[in-house]
Amino acid sequence: MGGSAAVYQAVHRNGSEVALKVLHPELAAVEQTRRRFLAEARAANLVRHDGVVVVRDDGEDSDGSMFLVMDLLSGETLSSRLVREGPLPVRDVIEWGIAILDILAAAHERRVVHRDVKPSNIFLTDRGVVKLLDFGVARILDDAGALPTAAGVALGTPAFMSPEQAAGASEEVAPATDVWGCGATLFQLLTGRAVHSTEPGGAQITSAATMAAPPVGAFCLNLPAAVGRVIDRSLSFRVADRWPSATSMRQALLQARDAIDLAQAESHDFTTLSEEGVAVLGSPNKSGLLRMPALIGLGFVLAVCALLVASLFPVPAKTSDVSQLRSEEPPNPIFAAPRIADAKTVELSAAVPPSAPAPVSAQQKPPVAVAPRDATPRRLRVDTSLAELPVAPPAPPMAEPATNVDVLDKRK
């Protein structure tokens, strides 16, 4: 439901679903309003841009109701999203602003000035496509058949009127008027408030006609300065100080977006930007800096815990095979058993010789023979730990070495 008309979902006589815009009955009785309502269809179709809803048909019902038949859209207006979510993300607002300015550039090229750019007239479809609605108060420049606007009459919405529009200077309404309206729209989407936050109605029109707009950065502290400068210039009080066209403002907004992307790619921090659009590490609440000591402390605690576990539960050494435990020293002539750390039973495949064997060369293996697979090995049991015995110097060749090793021959 709009200020001058209501929109319904309907089915056209050709079977397609359409949007039916019907002028309020009390306004349909005014001839000037009826003419302006029908002029909306001509202005909208004149733009020829995908961001403008096409008017398929128009007419008058038997009871005098005026209607327009338009394409049916699925989505929501930006004003509805603003009410639901509050100030919207900077990146989204930048993208929407670029799309709005592209539509306005196409309209201005066709000599059409919208005169009522605001969040409630910007529709975002379910697919993310931006549409500019309601050309009801649009002005077609240099159109001899256009309905003139009386001097001193302000057409549009007070919160989004440019200074010349609010002053009723209809002869000064030009593309720069839509540039101001687009800037006011971006201002509200970012801050959640109107440019001139005063009482609605006459006081707001007076403020728009007499007061300069405040900087958007004063109400959106995290706004990159490059974006703020684009919006602030669009809201300049004097027409000559604004962007000369929607195309130039769009180009400036694109450059600001690219600067943000470049800064983010270089810093890998998408939170805070300096005045020149260069990213600064950290964020206003310094959450990144606060997390760093916590991560360092956690790493230190984990390292200490790992050391404690290693000291309390040492990993036992892997016991090698008997065949690999060969000493490089000459074998004991009495008993060629390997040196092992703890008492255990060792299987040997040869009997202890009764006397000292002949000297062996360095290449000869120690006197431990491997029994054939089909022979039953003779087992010797070593019950006493060799690790507890002192290592004695080599005994004379013919002397009987002292030992406390109890050898049990299991051949019995």
Residues 113, 132 contacting (CB under 8 angstroms):
no
The domain spans of the chain are: 5-71, 75-141+150-277, 286-310, 323-350+378-383+405-412
In this predicted structure, the answer to whether residue 15 has a pLDDT above a threshold of 50 is: yes
Distance separating alpha carbons of residues 81 and 62, to the nearest angstrom: 37
Q: What is the pTM of this model?
A: 0.63
**What does R_g of the chain's alpha carbons equal in angstroms?**
46
pLDDT in tens, 240-260: 999 999 999 999 999 999 999
The top-level CATH class assigned to 5-71 is alpha beta
CATH node for 75-141+150-277:
1.10.510.10
In this predicted structure, the answer to whether residue 9 has a pLDDT above a threshold of 70 is: yes
CA angle in degrees (0–180, nearest 5) for 407-411-412: 100
**pLDDT for position 202:** 64
The count of other CB atoms within 10 Å of the CB of residue 403 is 15
Residue indicated by tokens 């007061």: 211
Instruction: Give the chain's mean pLDDT.
Output: 77
pLDDT in tens, 63-76: 888 899 999 999 99
Distance separating alpha carbons of residues 224 and 56, to the nearest angstrom: 42
User: 219: which DSSP letter?
Assistant: T
Active-site entry in 13, 84, 110, 115: 115
Residue 238, sorted as left (phi over 0), alpha (psi -120 to 50) or beta, turns out to be beta
**pLDDT for position 404:** 47
**pLDDT for position 283:** 40
Residues 6+ apart with CB under 8 A from 396: none
**pLDDT for position 171:** 82
**pLDDT for position 113:** 96
Distance separating alpha carbons of residues 52 and 76, to the nearest angstrom: 15
**pLDDT for position 343:** 43
pLDDT in tens, 184-222: 999 999 999 999 876 665 678 888 889 999 999 999 999
In this predicted structure, the answer to whether residue 282 has a pLDDT above a threshold of 50 is: no
Residues 6+ apart with CB under 8 A from 278: 263, 267
115 is catalytic: yes
